[in-house]
Chain A
Amino acid sequence: MTVITSSPTSPHQGQRPDRRDSTFRRYLLQYGLLIALLGVSAFFAAMSPTFLTTANFASILVNSFALPAIIAIAMTLAVGSGGIDLSVATAVDLASLAFVGTLAAGWPVPGAILAGLGAAALTGIFNGLLITGLNITPFLATLGTLFIGRSVQQVLANGGNPVYLSSSKLPAAVKFLAHGSFLGVPLPLYVVGFIALVAFILLELTIFGRGVRAIGARPQVAYFSGLRVRRDIVWIYLLSAAISGVAGILLSATVSAYIPYSGNAFLLNAIGAAFIGTTFGARGHANIIGTILGVLLLAIVANGLLLVGWNFYWQQVGTGAFIFLILAFSFASKRRQQRA
């Protein structure tokens, strides 16, 4: 890191910086997130003997990685299209409410899952229509949806009260969904893996994904190139909401309850991870691998700080400061690169 922070810019104009040095720096920048992840892991492994244990990693992955990762993937779709989706929180909550509500009413599990996904998808369609039909910017449209979603929850859940599923009513399939494992790997991780894979293929390997990236880079050019911008945007927000809905269903399966506004807790970290993820790779656009690394980094830092003996409150400060440092590092070197 010292290579970058020392000032390599030459004082004489016209004299080009050393080419090998700049290639090295470019790689360092592109894979900085991965390097940070490894560095942080090595640091915590040296500081705490429990860090590098299978049990600890399993706990990180299940407890503080799976759900944030799903929501961050949803956010990545919106960020990749040049927008942002603040209402992922609403989609999480509404999916959870619909899932728990229908289960409590005696629906079978597949029906309840469909109801949850459907409720989440509604927020996505609403966003898509606001953005494409009424030309509201994504930030404001999804902010509005977030507010409306709050009211909807209060009205439907009797003032925003939690809905608990009594353990007698809890179907075995729901317990399995949250706590089961297959081949030694917990089920939620399969869900994350599946969603990440689908989203990766969709964004990186399909025509749809290329279109979305074009829209994210230059919406006007995309429009004049004949892309069906509006249709793609509606799809993006629909997918973003549906993926968040999966997180909502997993969340309520884990705690066997609907807890109002619980989605809000994920929102800012998802935004952080998606944008931190844009620093990964050469092109600087939102990408699934970068996002996953970002979520993993946040989860590992939070876990590691706890293990080295920071209490929960200082851990919040540490995580915040750490995100800040990563952002500062990546934006400062990007700026330096642009100047060079």
Chain B
Amino acid sequence: MSVSYGTAAVEQHGSFASRTMPARPARRFLHRGLLRTGSLLVFIAVFTAFSLASPLFLTFANIVTVIGQSAVVGILAFGLTSVIIGGGADVVRGGIDLSLASNLGLGSAVYASLVQAGYGDAAAIAATLAVGLSVGTVNAISIVSIGILPLLATVAVMNICGGLELVLTQNTAISVSTPLLDLLSGTDRFGIPFLAYVIVAVAAILIVTLQYTAYGLRLYAVGEHREAARAAGLPVQAYVVSSYLISGLCGGIAAILYTALLSGSTTGSGEMLLPVVATALLGNVFSGRLLPTIGGTLLSTLLIGFLANGFQLLHVSSYWVSGIQGLLILSVVAATSLVRRRRS
């Protein structure tokens, strides 16, 4: 389904042409470089524009606050990125995890209910992470063992999680306060929110695991070309399972942060799903070969965070934020497909 309509022919002709004509690596490099630099330039341009327009933007406090506020969406998007890495970029047949947002909602509800019932932070954390991992396991089983399309399997799991969250909370907000939640929602003595540390730490761990280990390389291999990976002797299914477990765990971690940020569980976490999908897919343009990477996802999370924050500081109506997010996705994807076409 990732075949773009009509371009198939163009791509074919393109490849005939490149076979008969001498390759022009310089130009190819230029296009690819242009896109990557282009997306970085967009980032820098956004940053500079806001810094010039608002004196409050380029302050230490503001920047670390934005990073902290991006933690929940960012960590969910990391989870989705790992699934896309292991499953391939095709959104229907490849890797996708639409259950992430409701996984977060359920985890947060579990955390808040346990604290309300008198359990401590340790038990609540363990339960929340266990919920995340179980959701990941159910996704993995239904996709790998039963063979349901990832898009459908995770939509069904999303509905189940959303329902369980409703059962637990009776559709009300549960506000709780524990030492750990207070710590997480606070700042350290330099004024840096603890959430900022968490997102940086999670990003660092995942970048090392997925980008710099043999495991990560093999996960990419499984996602890019499953048959080739299988022929090379990789236990393909185990790798796909592991990517959904990472995603489920990210959902659990994000649930804890979400509970801290809102001092409790609230309804409506499902709203976060589409922004998370958009963030993860937007991350592709920040990598050299237009692949999903954790670093790219981190940059796209921050870009969207800074955009929203900058608009707020400039008193631009928040109405425009999601529209600009949409335009950003579309222009980035259009540019990517243009470069891909040129390249082949």
Binding site for B on A (CB under 8 A): 82-84, 130-132, 134-141, 143-152, 154-155, 159-160, 215, 219-220, 223-224, 229-230, 233, 268, 271-272, 275, 312-321, 323-324, 327-328, 331-332, 334-335
Contacts and interface: CB of A to CB of B under 8 A. Distances in A.
B163 A319 contact: yes
Nearest to A319: B159
Interface stretch (B3-11, B21-29, B51-59): B3-11
Given A224-B9, A327-B153, A145 B326 contact: yes
Given A151-B323, A328-B142, A135 B337 contact: yes
Contacts of B151: 271, 275
Interface of B: 1-9, 12, 91-92, 98, 142, 146-149, 151-153, 155-164, 166-167, 170-171, 274, 277-278, 281, 317-327, 329-330, 333-334, 337-338, 341
Nearest to A230: B6
A337 to B, nearest CB: 11
B167 to A, nearest CB: 4
Contacts of B329: 140, 143-144, 147
B273 to A, nearest CB: 9
Nearest to B89: A137
B160 A324 contact: yes
A132 B281 CA distance: 20
B322 A135 contact: no
Contacts of B325: 147
Given A140-B330, A220-B9, A320 B163 contact: yes
Contact of B321 (A136, A151, A312): A151
Contacts of A154: 317-319, 322
Kindly name the residue among B142, B153, B155, B166 whose own CB sees the greatest number of chain A CB atoms within 10 A. Answer: B155
Contact of B274 (A147, A272, A313): A147
B5 A131 contact: yes
23 contacts: A83-B1, A84-B91, A134-B337, A135-B334, A136-B330, A136-B334, A137-B2, A137-B91, A146-B326, A148-B323, A148-B327, A151-B321, A159-B319, A160-B319, A223-B5, A224-B9, A275-B149, A312-B166, A313-B170, A316-B163, A320-B157, A328-B148, A332-B146
Contacts of A314: 163, 167
A115 B8 CA distance: 37
Nearest to B153: A327
A324 B156 contact: yes
A219 B8 contact: yes
Contact of A272 (B152, B326, B327): B152
A308 to B, nearest CB: 16
A223 B6 contact: yes
Contacts of A230: 5-6
A147 B278 contact: yes
Contacts of B98: 268
B334 A268 contact: no
B155 A313 contact: no
Contacts of A143: 274, 277-278, 281, 326, 329
Contacts of B337: 134-136
Nearest to B2: A137
Given A147-B329, A331-B149, A323 B320 contact: no
Given A140-B281, A154-B319, A155-B319, A275 B152 contact: yes
Nearest to B170: A313
Contacts of A272: 152, 155-156
A311 to B, nearest CB: 8
A151 B163 contact: no
Contact of B323 (A140, A152, A220, A332): A152
B164 to A, nearest CB: 6
Contacts of B152: 271-272, 275, 327
B330 A139 contact: no
A143 B278 CA distance: 8
A317 B91 contact: no
Pairs of residues from A and B, 7 with the lowest C-beta to C-beta distance, nearest first = A151-B323, A147-B326, A320-B159, A316-B163, A317-B163, A154-B319, A320-B160
